[in-house]
Amino acid sequence: MEGTIEVDGVNLWYRVSGDGPPVVQIHGAGFGHYNFDPATPELAKRFKVIDYDMRGYGASDRPVQHYDMEVWADDLAGLMDGLGIDAAHVHGTSMGGMIAIVFAGKYPERTRSVVINCAAAKLGPSGRLIFKNWIDIARLDPDGPGSRVLAELITWQALSRRFLAEQDAVALADRIQEILRDSNRIEVFTAGRVLQLDNFRKLAGFSWPGFRKENLRRQNKGQAQCAAAFLQSVQSGAPAIPPEQLFEVARVTIDAAEMLRSQQ
């Protein structure tokens, strides 16, 4: 089932797959709901999975306005209201993981668990350079976010050497370029909100039942200073998920959600 729901003056596109406890998935910057297309079928075998395009992306409205993590977190709360969902497991990747941190901190009563992967609570110098590089290319290239140079750069940064060697690298870059072109508006893509992000305080303030502060870790992986926290499983690292790891991401998400369900 898919459709649109009006939230705070904009129409948000959504898709619901499967049945069971709800899991909402927050995509990363630039990729819209396509981020989770390989993982959603696995999750939908056990859960009601809600994929959606955030304000400013994909098939949702893309107004020129102020954007930040709290705007997107509030939109998720509004989407859940429209779908009649009181609380859900929240799964965010890349910038979506950053938004998941904000959502869980602001709406703990609506958060059954948080699964964060490939996200940063605060970018280090190299992490900021990566995102600034993406923004600069989109600004300078006449094709904006649909730039071939940007698509090839992200293909190289986001996909593992093994996966690129096994697949058609040109076709992968073609697909990434298509997604970037169709999912983005230049004003939103270049807003650069992720560059000013600092979610460490929000993470340190988490206090919902079952959360343990020792799950909060700071790591420097070379590409970003990562902080990821949720009740049992943590993944952190580069700005995107290699496709061959998506089934593992789905498995970790399922394990975390089912662990919470068993405790209720």
Tens of pLDDT, residues 190-209: 876 666 666 656 655 555 44
Dist. CA 192–CA 125, nearest whole Å: 14
Q: With respect to residue 21, please indicate whether it lies within any of the assigned structural domains.
A: yes
pLDDT value for 37: 87
Dist. CA 102–CA 211, nearest whole Å: 16
- Computed on alpha carbons and rounded to an integer, the radius of gyration of the chain in Å comes to 17
Provide the CATH number for the domain around residue 52.
3.40.50.1820
* Higher pLDDT, residue 8 or 214: 8
Instruction: Find the domain containing 228 and state its range.
Output: 2-124+196-263
Which residue is associated with the tokens 């998935």? 25
Angle (deg, nearest 10), helices 169-183 and 148-158: 120
Q: With respect to residue 68, please indicate whether it lies within any of the assigned structural domains.
A: yes
* Higher pLDDT, residue 203 or 100: 100
pLDDT value for 195: 63
* Higher pLDDT, residue 195 or 35: 35
* Higher pLDDT, residue 70 or 261: 70
CA angle 209, 201, 218 (to 5 degrees): 90
* Higher pLDDT, residue 257 or 69: 69
User: SS3 for 116?
Assistant: strand
Q: With respect to residue 15, please indicate whether it lies within any of the assigned structural domains.
A: yes
Q: Strand ranges (DSSP E) for the chain?
A: 2-7, 10-17, 22-26, 48-52, 88-93, 111-117, 219-220, 225-226
Tell me the pTM.
Answer: 0.78
* Higher pLDDT, residue 90 or 259: 90
Sign of CA dihedral 242, 213, 223, 185: positive
Dist. CA 95–CA 99, nearest whole Å: 6
Q: Which of 88, 94, 135 has the alpha carbon at shortest distance from 236?
A: 94
pLDDT value for 78: 98
Q: With respect to residue 131, please indicate whether it lies within any of the assigned structural domains.
A: no
Query: What's the structural domain count of the chain?
Result: 1
In the structure, what pLDDT confidence band is assigned to residue 115 with cuts at 50, 70 and 90?
A: confident
Sign of CA dihedral 64, 110, 98, 32: negative
Q: With respect to residue 239, please indicate whether it lies within any of the assigned structural domains.
A: yes
Q: With respect to residue 112, please indicate whether it lies within any of the assigned structural domains.
A: yes
Q: With respect to residue 114, please indicate whether it lies within any of the assigned structural domains.
A: yes
On whether the CB atoms of residues 113 and 47 are closer than 8 A, the answer is no
Q: How many other β-carbons are positioned within 10 Å of the β-carbon of residue 213? A: 10
pLDDT value for 127: 78
Q: With respect to residue 216, please indicate whether it lies within any of the assigned structural domains.
A: yes
pLDDT value for 227: 29
On whether the CB atoms of residues 230 and 82 are closer than 8 A, the answer is no
